[in-house]
Amino acid sequence: MTETMQLQGRTPQKMQVRLEHMDKLLSLAGEVIITSANLQDMERRVQSAVTRRQTLGPESLDIIKTSNESTRRISQDLHDLVMAIRLVEIGDTMRLFKRPVRDLARTLEKEISLVFEGADTMIDKALAERLVDPLLHLLRNAVDHGAISPIERAAAGLPQTVTVTLRAVNLEHAVEISVTDDGRGIDDEAIRRLAEQSGIIEIDQPCALIDILCTPGFSTRTAATQTSGRGVGLDLVREMVSEFGGELSIESAVGQGTTVTMTIPKLRAVNIIDALTLSAGHLLFALPIHRIEASLGIPRNSIRNAFQKERYIVYQGETVPICDLLEVLGEGTCEAGRDLLPVVILQSRDAKLALIVSEFLGPQKLVNIPFEENMSHAQAIAGTTVFTGGKLGLTVDVDALIDATLNLRGPVEKTLDLAFASAPPANISNTVSLASSRSESPQEALTTELGSSDVNDLLSEMSTSLSALQDILLGLETSDNTHRDIKDAFRRLHGIKANFSMLEMDPIVNFAHRLETVMDYIRSERLTMTPDLMDLLLDSVSFLTRVTDALPQKVLGPEEELSERLLQRCEVPQENTLCDRDIIGRAFDMTPEIELQMVTARKRGHHVFETYFTFHPGRQADYLVAYLWLCRLGAMGTVLSTLPSIAEIEQGQCGNAIKVLWSADKTEKALKERLEEHAPLYDVSSYQTVEITRLPGTTD
């Protein structure tokens, strides 16, 4: 079995765009063209005024005013539209957890029912991607720690199955995501005693339960297992939530269950910020406005010292540490020779900081250009930006700045020169950074006659089908309508196999065909569904998913161990099928309806045949070959009766042979040519045809 809680995929890298959003985008593009034409006209007017010393009339001011208003509105509409396009349903992320929760429940021998609520809640795609690991940890906690064994639940008078609910709720300014279990709950007092014994908190020290549980290294397990006990997890969950400016909370009652909730503010576009621009010495900076509590001027003598080291001011009755922005960045000071100091009060998740600057410039909407990964050592600097007039400045990471300052880590490394050196030129064409291409060299690139766009469309369709196929298989363990589900699974798998065939990946096509055969045996009850067999099906789908995700840069070959497991399941004794001798020795059941059809066919000038077909064993599911071949014969003529019967074929009671009574408007010779043409396409290895000349009710 695969590793218990390993996800086989992440949120999709492609997004579908609603038609209404595209219409809005086209409308905005038209408005941009109109505004651009107005500005070009204004440019000609100004040029004439400068070169010919002409005066500008009131209409010029109207053009400038109209263009300015249009630009502001269009930029805001574009910002809102981009954010709307980025929204995805959280259900796409939720569905990733079905397999790992099911596997962990099997490992721990617990019965778990995973329930999704609010799957249609819309969240930002960046948040959806970041939520995978935190939610995976919370679900693992719910199954491992919260859910008690079936024996314990029976003793407590509870249902044998533990219900774990993953819920998403859209609030006005935030999204609330919670994981709830109806398990044992958290014993607050026991947790505190364990924390005191571990030295995490002092005896009788007041401390919130969430703070104890999120302490790195804290665990209720005395020994580490494959799923828990190492004291990592909840602290990382809270760290991720904090990065998005959210909060993590826990509600629990002993014997009733636990709910862990993440409340995360709705995201704005990560590269567009409403900022307060300012200067510090000769440098320009931008601070996110939503992190600024106030901007004011204070006398130098209002700054106080604490222990002759730290400085602070009193703001609205509260003590706030104060520092010089340039000193923090290791670039000098903003205070030299000034009695009245411009100060901005910053608010982070847990603290405030007063920051001395040189001058306030004003609010402005800016595009933040993040640093590349190799510039991650530029502490407190989030990226670069282009100010009005094409001047280059730096955007400040407020959380990192306050953290570095209040934790006395010393001045931030002197990286401003590196930051400016790594920034793109002050040109609007460089305000969008492209992701770097993968350095990983593919083992083997996909070669096909299809165009790149066709390949991408195929891969997108295959990813969607594989995700749906896994959901169907997981539902087979609890579904009451197995026949309908397995039919749907067959349909999707057959399409996936066809797509691999179009990509000319024959080894993967053969692998998918083996999987299709095993599923056919389950449908025909030649194989009984067991947890181990379900593991094999899910592992096979996960492998096909990995193959799809690697394309087109890398072509993966079949895994030998997994292929061998599938092959063993394909080798099932054909106990319930009819052998060749059974079919040859059986006569058609000549009902009055069939006799009437035979007579009618002859009166129309058609010929009636009895044909015996055999197929290559094992290349296709027997019932599927027979059914498809009957469809082909139906296109050539009229099928009157079959051995085995249609009902037996549908129930899987079909070997590698079939006898058909049918009529066609062709002679035996002409029919033979058609059969020889189509037989190889349906794995027909041989056939014998006899024309029936003596019909019921006739004397010839």
1, pLDDT greater than 80:
no
Average pLDDT over residues 207-216: 78
Tokens for 71?
A: 């630009």
* pLDDT confidence tier of residue 10, bands split at 50, 70 and 90: very low
Please provide the average confidence, as pLDDT, over all residues in the chain.
77
∠ CA 445-447-450, rounded to 5°: 130
603, pLDDT greater than 50:
yes
Alpha-carbon distance of 486 to 475, in angstroms, equals 10
Alpha-carbon distance of 60 to 253, in angstroms, equals 70
Pairing of strands 304-306, 318-324: unpaired
- pLDDT tens for each residue of 171-196: 888 899 999 998 888 888 888 888 77
Distance of CA 431 to the CA centre of its chain: 27
Lowest pLDDT segment from 242-256, 491-505, 581-595: 581-595
* pLDDT confidence tier of residue 222, bands split at 50, 70 and 90: very low
pLDDT at 69: 84
Q: Where are the beta strands (DSSP E) in 289-335?
A: 292-299, 304-306, 310-315, 318-324
> Could you check whether the bond before residue 442 is cis, i.e. omega within 30 degrees of 0?
no
229, pLDDT greater than 70:
no
Tokens for 132?
A: 């995978």
pLDDT at 652: 66
Alpha-carbon distance of 655 to 653, in angstroms, equals 7
Share of the chain above pLDDT 70, in %: 81
pLDDT at 556: 83
- pLDDT tens for each residue of 477-501: 766 556 777 777 877 887 788 778 7
Lowest pLDDT segment from 18-27, 306-315, 374-383: 374-383
Question: Do 334 and 324 touch, CB atoms closer than 8 A?
Answer: yes
Indicate the length of the chain as a whole number. 700
Question: Do 380 and 270 touch, CB atoms closer than 8 A?
Answer: no
pLDDT at 79: 77
- The CB density around residue 151, as the number of other CB atoms within 10 Å, is 10
Q: Where are the beta strands (DSSP E) in 337-479?
A: 340-347, 352-356, 359-367, 369-370, 381-386, 392-396
Q: Which of 124, 114, 131, 125 lies closest to 7, judged by CA?
A: 131
- pLDDT tens for each residue of 257-304: 899 999 988 766 557 778 899 988 888 999 988 889 888 888 888 888
Distance of CA 63 to the CA centre of its chain: 47
Q: What strands lie across the sheet with 162-170, from one edge to the other? A: 112-117, 162-170, 174-181, 257-265, 247-253
Bridge partner list, 641: 661
Please give the helix or strand (H or E) that residue 447 lies within, else none: none
Q: At what angle do helices 452-476 and 531-550 cross, to 10 degrees?
A: 170
- The SS3 call for residue 207 is coil
56, pLDDT greater than 80:
no
Q: Which of 167, 118, 170, 169 lies closest to 138, judged by CA?
A: 167
pLDDT at 169: 93
- The CB density around residue 484, as the number of other CB atoms within 10 Å, is 11
Average pLDDT over residues 365-394: 75
360, pLDDT greater than 60:
yes
124, pLDDT greater than 50:
yes
- pLDDT tens for each residue of 637-675: 899 888 888 877 776 667 778 888 989 888 878 888 888
Q: Which of 387, 301, 415, 313 lies closest to 355, judged by CA?
A: 313
* pLDDT confidence tier of residue 345, bands split at 50, 70 and 90: very high
Residues with Cβ < 8 Å from 256, sequence gap 6 or more? 182, 185
Average pLDDT over residues 366-395: 75
* pLDDT confidence tier of residue 696, bands split at 50, 70 and 90: low
pLDDT at 224: 41
End-to-end CA gap in the chain: 67
Share of the chain above pLDDT 90, in %: 5
Alpha-carbon distance of 229 to 109, in angstroms, equals 18
306, pLDDT greater than 90:
no
Distance of CA 111 to the CA centre of its chain: 26
51, pLDDT greater than 70:
yes
Average pLDDT over residues 365-374: 72
H helix intervals, 87-187:
91-94, 98-107, 125-130, 132-141, 150-155
Alpha-carbon distance of 329 to 396, in angstroms, equals 11
* pLDDT confidence tier of residue 374, bands split at 50, 70 and 90: low
Pairing of strands 657-664, 272-280: unpaired
pLDDT at 671: 83
pLDDT at 5: 41
Give whichever of 15-29, 494-508, 543-557 has the largest mean pLDDT: 543-557
Tokens for 582?
A: 């059974």
How far is residue 265 from each of residues 166, 233, 292, measured CA to CA in Å? 19, 22, 17
pLDDT greater at residue 457 or residue 73: 73
Question: Do 136 and 7 touch, CB atoms closer than 8 A?
Answer: yes
- pLDDT tens for each residue of 394-449: 888 888 888 777 764 444 444 455 444 444 444 433 333 323 333 333 356 666 66
Question: Do 354 and 342 touch, CB atoms closer than 8 A?
Answer: no
- pLDDT tens for each residue of 551-575: 888 888 888 888 888 888 776 544 4
pLDDT at 7: 52
Alpha-carbon distance of 607 to 597, in angstroms, equals 12
pLDDT at 309: 56
> DSSP class of residue 6?
-
Average pLDDT over residues 377-405: 80
- pTM beyond 0.95, yes or no: no
